[in-house]
Amino acid sequence: MTTPTECQHSGDTPASESTAEPNTTPSQPSRRRFLQSAAAAATIGAAPHLRAQEQAPASTAPQSNPVVPPHAVTLTVNGRAYALQLEPRVTLLDALREYAGLMGTKKGCDRGQCGACTVLVDGRRINSCLTLAVMHEGENITTVEGLASNGTLSPVQAAFIEHDAFQCGYCTPGQLCSATALLGEFRNGTASTVTADVRARPAALTDDEIRERMSGNICRCGAYVNIVAAVRAAHEHA
């Protein structure tokens, strides 16, 4: 028979090996254990943020501006009355183009810098993109469509054609309206910043005077020399 001692050590390592000192070098952590630890740390770190998001009140939807109903506005343009229904914030430029159907006045920069939208209001030139249509009820508005009379071009229009004072033509309506007002201002004795003596009537409409008085109208094609020549010719033949 086998003694209990023999049964206990049957198949085990020899006694000499079992009594050896254990390996003191710590085993390296496995890759799976490392990933599990990293995931647990990330979850713990994100928990306060998730809790804060859950407790934060739901943001309210932005409120839209109330719709302003249109009002009846009558604009007198080129001698004709236009009865329009306009929201009070509609500019004169948009009223002319989108409501009255007068597409001659152009929208360039829409901020009063290029002059393409220039029209005449009671003979005074303004940028129609910078003013509201409701402000001009009862006034006489002239656009490029109203410069000609009975199918005959105005002196300014004829001079622009004769001197080839346009290329693409986009700025031309504003140029024509501005030049028309310029000639009226000069006849009335209005001085400019280049007038030698602003206390007296300008002596002559020189090229410098024309360039200064037309400086609010930009021609991106660069036809300025011809524009000055056209304005000078219209003044001489007026």
CB 73 within 8 A of CB 91: no
Q: Quick check: 111 pLDDT over 50?
A: yes
Q: 103 versus 201: which is more confidently predicted?
A: 103
Q: Quick check: 27 pLDDT over 70?
A: no
Q: Which of 117, 146, 175 is the last residue of a domain?
A: 146
Average pLDDT over residues 213-236: 97
Q: What is the pLDDT of residue 173?
A: 98
Of the pLDDT bands very low, low, confident and very high (cuts 50, 70, 90), residue 64 is confident
d(CA 234, CA 218): 20
Sequence letter at residue 186: F
Q: What is the pLDDT of residue 17?
A: 47
Please indicate, yes or no, if residue 198 is contained in any of the structural domains. Answer: yes
CA distances from 41 to 33, 50, 52 (A): 12, 14, 18
CB 166 within 8 A of CB 119: no
Q: Which of 123, 146, 169 is the last residue of a domain?
A: 146
Q: Quick check: 18 pLDDT over 60?
A: no
Q: What is the pLDDT of residue 8?
A: 47
Q: What is the pLDDT of residue 66?
A: 74
| Tens digit of each residue's pLDDT (9 = 90 or more) over 129-161 | 999 999 999 999 999 999 999 999 999 999 999
- Does residue 160 share a domain with residue 142? no
Please indicate, yes or no, if residue 44 is contained in any of the structural domains. Answer: no
How many structural domains are present in the chain?
2
Q: Which of 127, 146, 165 is the last residue of a domain?
A: 146
Residues linked to residue 119 through DSSP beta bridges, in sequence order: 126
CATH number of domain containing 98: 3.10.20.30
- Does residue 109 share a domain with residue 167? no
Please indicate, yes or no, if residue 128 is contained in any of the structural domains. Answer: yes
Question: How much is the mean pLDDT over the chain?
Answer: 86
The backbone torsions φ and ψ at residue 152, rounded to the nearest 5 degrees and listed phi first, read -105, 130
d(CA 47, CA 231): 76
Q: 109: domain range?
A: 71-146
Please indicate, yes or no, if residue 22 is contained in any of the structural domains. Answer: no
Task: For residue 182, count CB atoms less than 10 angstroms from its CB and return exposed for 0-12, middle for 13-18, buried for 19 or more.
Answer: buried
CB neighbour burial string for 64-101, b if at least 16 within 10 angstroms, e if fewer: eeeeeeeeebebebbeeebebebbeebbbbbbbbebbe
Q: What is the DSSP string of 94-124?
A: HIIIIIS--TTS--SSSSSSS-TTEEEETTE
Residue percentage of the chain with pLDDT more than 90: 68
Q: What is the pLDDT of residue 98?
A: 97
CATH number of domain containing 200: 1.10.150.120
Q: What is the pLDDT of residue 63?
A: 73
Please indicate, yes or no, if residue 9 is contained in any of the structural domains. Answer: no
- Does residue 170 share a domain with residue 198? yes
- Does residue 171 share a domain with residue 230? yes
Q: Quick check: 112 pLDDT over 80?
A: yes
Both tokens of residue 121?
């209001």
d(CA 122, CA 136): 10
Q: 26 versus 124: which is more confidently predicted?
A: 124
